Amino acid sequence: MKKWTKVVTTSILAISLLAGCGTSGDKATEASDANGAKIKVGVTAGPHEEIVEKVKEVAAKDGLEIEIVSFNDYVQPNKVLAEGQLDANIFQHEPYLERFKTDHNLDLIKVANTINFPMGIYSTKVKDVQEIADGAEVGLPNDPTNGARALQLFELAGLIKLKEGVGVKATIHDIAENPKNLKFKELEAAFIPKALDDLAAAAINTNFAMEHGYNPTNDSIFIEPKDSPWVNLIAVRTEDKDRAEIAQLVKAYQSDEVKQFIEEQFQGSVVPGW
């Protein structure tokens, strides 16, 4: 497959970054100093991190200093935010946030839309989804919302049919028709690109695909439409939703300067969602 040359350097391990957040119980809001407002924003490594680096530049012009904390999984950013070691995070879509909040009893809230990463199906063995062999093994994320999203993508590609009405709650047990008798292997989302050579195909989140050198537009064998509803967002603790610094963050993110950066840097693989 053609590798994308604009690859963001893989971040250091999340555990090291978490250590930089301070000791347990420290509040990110305490990071403000006498010289101006300062906030900590959690992101996943890859495009989110690269975009927020640009947001940081724009926010600085408005007197807001952003410290970026990078993670390589989908679990820690919400937990660390809820614990008060971040002021906001930017890495997830609303179905994932709502499910995570319910499962972990967290008081977090969406404050703004950011970008959309169209999920794609990738393969090192075939160039079209219809070429996937009967009985082949295909991969998908093992977290509930991204797993459901992948199943919906497989359905859109004509590989399976889901039970009517399951929507964002779909699991592999909700597959009503599987004409190719495909075997579905659920894996950690970040690990799927590494396992791709051992699978016939796999649904991969765009940020992880790009981290491993794939351009979703050029390298996927099937991709979500650009008007997909899975828009990512900025999340904060509910008690902080009206903070002036959060409003500054939203303003900087949704600026024309950042929108232009996204469009030029990612060439349609990442889509502004506001």
In the prediction, which pLDDT does 168 show? 85
Cα–Cα distance between 7 and 191 in angstroms, integer? 17
Cα–Cα distance between 207 and 181 in angstroms, integer? 29
In a domain, 59, yes or no: yes
**pLDDT tens, position by position, 54-71:** 999 999 999 999 999 999
Assign 251 to helix, strand or coil: helix
Cα–Cα distance between 2 and 66 in angstroms, integer? 35
In the prediction, which pLDDT does 10 show? 35
Residue tagged 């409003």 (tokens) = 247
- Do residue 234 and residue 103 come from a single domain? yes
In a domain, 209, yes or no: no
DSSP at 24:
T
Q: 92 lies in which domain range?
A: 14-118+229-272
Please report, for the domain that includes residue 243, its CATH number.
3.40.190.10
- Do residue 142 and residue 154 come from a single domain? yes
In a domain, 6, yes or no: no
Cα–Cα distance between 67 and 53 in angstroms, integer? 9
- Do residue 145 and residue 110 come from a single domain? no
Question: What six digits make up the tokens of 88?
Answer: 């906001």
Cα–Cα distance between 193 and 195 in angstroms, integer? 5
In the prediction, which pLDDT does 227 show? 67
- Our count of domains for the chain comes to 2
Cα–Cα distance between 144 and 170 in angstroms, integer? 8
- In this predicted structure, the answer to whether residue 191 has a pLDDT above a threshold of 60 is yes
In the prediction, which pLDDT does 91 show? 95
**pLDDT tens, position by position, 146-185:** 999 999 999 999 999 999 999 888 999 999 999 999 999 9
Whole-prediction pTM: 0.67
